[in-house]
A and B are shown apart, each in its own frame.
Chain A
Amino acid sequence: MTEQTQIPVTVLTGYLGAGKTTLLNRVLTENHGKKYAVIVNEFGEIGIDNDLVVGADEEIFEMNNGCICCTVRGDLIRIIGGLLKRKDKFDAILVETTGLADPAPVAQTFFTDDDIKKRTKLDSIVTVVDAKHIDQRLDDSDEAEEQIAFADIVLLNKTDLVSPEALAKVEAHIRTLNPFAKIYRTERSNIPLDQILNRGAFDLKRALELDPHFLCDHEHGHHHHDHAAASTIHDTDIHSISLSTDKPLDLQKFDAWVADVLMTDGQRILRTKGILNMAAKDERFVFQAVHMVSEGTFTGPWPSKDNRRSRLVFIGRKLDEAALKRGFDSCIA
């Protein structure tokens, strides 16, 4: 059997009017050397007649009797299955979701369906945020929060419309929701496309390249409590828990603990990312999960022998920080 290359898939989320369409039009028209198949939720917005633009109606499928991690997007399975029959027509796929879409079923589609898993790979989730209106959005919609919580990359767009102080506040708010996303400030979605496409955020081997600062507990380290003062928060709001230690962990203990956490609380935990120092191993262990769907692997040496610090981030709702910290500490070898 011939080994097939996996086609990278970028998922583009963001509230209506945040600037997704501007970005899509750039992907379709700019000369970036790659041919994208684009799956859009509304045909009308794209002013381009291109046979690689496909319209999709969101169809949420519960598989295996409604297990949450098996909630997938049936329309994407169908459309990507059809696109994959084409011959050498495109290099990558971009999936646009509606402003109201839950990103979890989109992401889970790429880990749940065998055919799609074999032929494509989720590259990254890019969320476009309107710097001027995001505070209001976060107050009145769960989806806006979820889209930021799921993001690997956040485009903080329309920065020209707000003051530097307001921008700093919005960025801090995004950080509290998602400590590991890479944030880019843009106007009119003007970012070099290679900064957001084909980044390999879901590729464990490349996860560190995307965010070399993941291990540094700098300004966004333990600030997940602070935003409670900044805006009115009700207890279903998304927050993050960041755990770290300098002591090596025991791989078996960690595997058992994290599997149990995701099994028990995987509905509330949206995403998990970690880079971990396992006892008696010279390589870094990279771990990530979307709800209960997880993967972890050793990915190469630590950059410096002296700074082998483990860090694990949970993003979710009503997370029990004390219990997570106890569990994490119990994995110390």
Chain B
Amino acid sequence: MATSVSRAPVVAHEFGAYVVSATANGRLFGVAFGDGMVRLIDSEILDAKPVEVQAHVGAALCLAADIEKGAFLSGGDDGNLNKISALGAVEVVAEHKGRWVEHVTTHSGSGVRAYSVGKDAFVLGKQKTEPRKLTHATSVGGLAINPKGRRLAVAHYGGVSLWWLAQDSPPALLPWKGSHLQTVWSPDGDYVVTAMQENALHGWRLSDNEHMRMSGYGAKVRSAAFGRRGHFLATGGAESVICWPFTGGGPMGKAPFEFGGAGGAPCTAVAANPEMDVFAAGFEDGSVIVGQPGPKAAMLIIMGGGSPVTALCWNPDGDRLLAGTEAGDVNIADFRA
């Protein structure tokens, strides 16, 4: 494998609280923290001072790009779902006193916002109307809206419930034993894949209800991302970045490709580059690499050493990469230079 150390400059911040989640909306990176702060960082002007907002009283638990440009939605253990504008104004979108807002996701094309509190998922539109409540038998472990913005996948114990967003109908259940957490939808909309409480992934092909079991991981998978064209699903949970091929009928019966893994620490976060067929991966030892699965695997070491990586995010142009850690470090690598 060809390895080189990046000379891309890195802008480093130390914020001192667990980085819960990071995402981008337009040119802004949004980063949510375990002390309830949300910081907005301009990916065009990396040395500008971040916009800082005390969004939650306790910890922020989740973050998504809002359907409005430049805004973000954050959920916290104070029971609030907040909208944070590009300038840092906070607006309470929903309140669930005494409970936790644990997952949030949006679809800008269809103008849908979805979040979860315990066993309930809620769907909100653009207008301030009463949200639609979707109840499940056990707590929600993950949310994902399909690429067309018409269906919501809700992961829970025992499988995934698929709801039509525009229809008031009961969900279709994708069953599988065990507890399902982070959920991703393939870019063509045909596969739903969950990272499980066990050290495994489970997937379903919707066109023929075919199951996929992807196991053999040494740790919890925790993070999974489809590449921009959907050819590969990159996953955490192993010392190298395990990438399952989704071309030509899916990964069933095929061996995964991998890259990285020199450090010996498990991969804790992955993010697909929106412009190129490469993935960024962060590890428990704090290192971050960028690489490409396949026979000509190659990688760049971007940053090394430190606290476990908990969040990774590219800007929409795919030339700036943000990595956040448990210790509260936020590093942004600049590939334009």
Contact = CB atoms under 8 A, between A and B. Distances in A.
A85 B61 contact: yes
**Interface range for B:** 35 or more
Given A1-B308, A64-B198, A82 B59 contact: yes
B18 interface: yes
A87 B18 contact: yes
B307 interface: yes
A65 B213 CA distance: 13
Interface in A277-325: none
A61 B61 contact: no
A6 B285 CA distance: 18
A143 interface: no
A263 interface: no
Contact of B138 (A59, A63, A79, A114): A59
B78 A61 contact: no
Interface residues of A, number: 29
B157 A82 contact: no
Given A65-B177, A82-B61, A43 B98 contact: yes
A24 B284 CA distance: 36
B131 interface: no
A2 interface: yes
Interface in A68-114: 74-75, 77-79, 82-87, 89, 113-114
Given A51-B58, A74-B179, A82-B100, A1 B198 contact: no
* Chain A CB within 10 Å, residue with most, of B33, B197, B220, B308: B197
Interface string B244-274: 0000000000000000000001000000000
Contact of B102 (A64, A78, A84, A86): A78
Contact of A62 (B57, B58, B177, B307): B177
B139 A75 contact: yes
B138 A87 contact: no
B178 interface: yes
A85 B138 contact: no
B57 to A, nearest CB: 6
Contacts of A75: 139
B118 interface: yes
Contacts of B236: none
A115 interface: yes
A74 B157 contact: yes
Interface string B1-30: 000000000000000111010000000000
Interface of A: 1-2, 43, 51, 54-55, 57, 59, 61-66, 74-75, 77-79, 82-87, 89, 113-115
Interface of B: 16-18, 20, 33-35, 57-59, 61, 77-78, 98-100, 102, 118-119, 138-139, 141, 157, 177-179, 197-198, 219-220, 265, 284-286, 307-308, 327-328
Given A79-B100, A86-B18, 16 more contacts: A1-B284, A1-B285, A51-B57, A51-B58, A57-B118, A74-B157, A84-B18, A86-B34, A86-B58, A86-B59, A87-B17, A87-B18, A87-B35, A89-B58, A113-B197, A115-B220
7 contacts: A1-B308, A51-B58, A63-B198, A64-B178, A82-B102, A87-B35, A89-B58
